[in-house]
Amino acid sequence: MPIKVLVVDDSALVRNLLSEIVRGSPDMQLVGAAPDAFVARDMVNQFSPNVITLDIEMPRMDGLAFLEKLMAARPTPVVMISTLTEEGAEATLRALELGAVDFIPKPKLGVSSGIREYAEIIIEKIRAAADVKVKPLIKKHRPEITEDQKIMNPVGLQSTEKIIAIGASTGGTEAIKDLLVQLPAAVPGIVMTQHMPPGFTRTYAERLNKTTRLHVVEAKGGERILPGHAFLAPGGYHLVVVRSGADYRVKLSDAEPVHRHRPAVDVMMESVAQVGGKNVIGVLLTGMGKDGAKGMLDIRNRGGYTIAQDEASCVVYGMPKEAVAVGGVDQIVALDKMGQALLDKIKAMGSGNRL
């Protein structure tokens, strides 16, 4: 059975380009191309698409409003088409909160050549989305946490010797947030790689900083990795962890993409394994592809501990599955139990409280 795809975009050019890409894939069937949310609603009822590509900025009813209605009434896998702007990043992250599976950034210039260049990735993302079991939208209210509330609560978890490395891709923006909100302020320093383009990571880090007890920032390079702090790899750069005397520090690298990604989870995890050895906990969350599998194995081979998200709670069980397959995983845990699993392991590793 081919994957039935509905394209929704107010730009005739983008509609035609996406339609052409879908038609060119033998395992897909274009069931419709809608210029706005109202036409899209009728087409959803008529054709029951398996996947929808949805533009955020549309007249009459924007993509976010349509997405919220869709997820409440008829949950369907959605891949957002977003602009590479700060507003676009905010809207995209909101769409992922509302239940969109993934997003494709729309090139600022040369839309036609840019989207064709993305053709292979677009097809991959639609394929991955088709396998996702979308759940009806449940609104989670998380009060914002002010900087004054981010006070260290020492519970034997604070250490500059231990370090946590978290990697994720498709479905990861929500998974990382769901994990971090389970953690107290006094955890070892955290480094994170989430596959995202430049411009999106700063906005994402700011959102995480408002909803968790940790100090979350987009890494700039040179920072000392301290307890209660989490550093997110910026789009377009690999995050590498280096030793500086007794400290771990963040270094950014513009080396070649790995698995077509920069930042790549493998680059971050391999660097952490090298400098941290037995003091590292690697965490691999939902995502498409195999980035992170080698890094998790490296951490494990050097005496560190690794935790992977279980299949049932993953949006896409790709990266964790690959890590399990290569023998890189010590423990498989559901996302809602992962915070406790991390805290238990940190306590079991002993104090090492050199600050």
Nearest-angstrom CA–CA distance, 160 and 354: 6
- Active site (annotated) includes residue 291: yes
Lowest mean pLDDT among 91-95, 127-131, 350-354: 350-354
Q: Mean pLDDT lowest for which of 45-54, 76-85, 105-114, 264-273?
A: 105-114
pLDDT of residue 155: 45
pLDDT > 60? residue 321: yes
Summarised one tens digit per residue, pLDDT across range 278-313 is 999 999 999 999 999 999 999 999 999 999 999 999
Q: Does 353 score more than 50 pLDDT?
A: no
Mean pLDDT of the chain: 91
Query: What pLDDT sits at residue 260?
Result: 93
Q: Are strands 215-218 and 229-232 parallel, antiparallel or unpaired?
A: parallel
Query: What pLDDT was estimated at residue 69?
Result: 95
Average pLDDT over residues 98-118: 81
The Cα 36–Cα 63 span in angstroms is 9
Question: Using N-to-C axis directions, what is the helix angle for 86-98 and 172-180, rounded to 10°?
Answer: 80
Marked catalytic residue, from 169, 259, 266, 298: 169
Buried b (16+ CB within 10 A) or exposed e, 51-73: bbbbbbbbeeebbbebbbebbee
pLDDT band at 354 (very low <50, low <70, confident <90, very high): very low
Check residue 135 and give its pLDDT.
78
d(CA 105, CA 200): 10
pLDDT higher for 84 or 178?
Answer: 178
In this structure, what token pair is assigned to residue 46?
């008529």
In the predicted structure, residue 199 carries a pLDDT above the cut 90: no
Return the structure tokens found at 292. 């992170």
Which pLDDT band holds residue 272 (cuts at 50, 70, 90)? very high
Region of residue 206 (left: phi > 0; alpha: psi -120 to 50; beta: else): alpha
Give every CB contact of residue 15 below 8 A, 6+ residues apart in sequence: 7, 9, 33, 35
Active site residue 42: no
Q: What's residue 108's pLDDT?
A: 66
Per-residue pLDDT at 90 exceeds 90: yes
Q: Given this model, what pLDDT does residue 137 score? A: 64
| The residue count for the chain | 355
The yes-or-no answer on residue 271 being catalytic is no
- Same CATH topology for 3-130 and 147-348: the answer is yes
Whole-number pLDDT of residue 154: 43
Assess if CATH 3.40.1400.10 describes domain 3-130: no
Instruction: Give the pLDDT band (50/70/90) at residue 146.
Output: low
What pLDDT, on a 0 to 100 scale, did the predictor assign at position 151? 53
What band does 216 get if pLDDT is binned at 50, 70 and 90? very high
Q: What is the pLDDT of residues 148-179, one digit of tens each?
A: 555 544 444 556 789 999 999 999 999 999 99
Task: Kindly tell me if the per-residue pLDDT of 124 is higher than 90.
Answer: yes
pLDDT digits (tens, 9 = 90+) for 58-68: 888 999 999 99
Q: Which residues contact 156 (CB under 8 A, 6 or more apart)?
A: 347, 351
More confident residue, 238 or 121: 238
Considering the candidates 55, 178, 266, 291, report the single residue annotated as catalytic. 291
CA distance to 152, 170, 275, per residue, from 280 (Å): 21, 24, 9
What's residue 355's pLDDT?
A: 38
Q: Which residue among the candidates 195, 229, 259, 261 is catalytic per the annotation?
A: 195
Candidates 3.40.50.180, 3.40.50.1820, 1.20.58.190, 3.10.20.600; CATH matching 147-348: 3.40.50.180
Domain ranges of the chain: 3-130, 147-348
What is the mean pLDDT of the segment spanning 21-40?
A: 96
- Lowest model confidence (mean pLDDT) among 27-31, 109-113, 124-128: 109-113
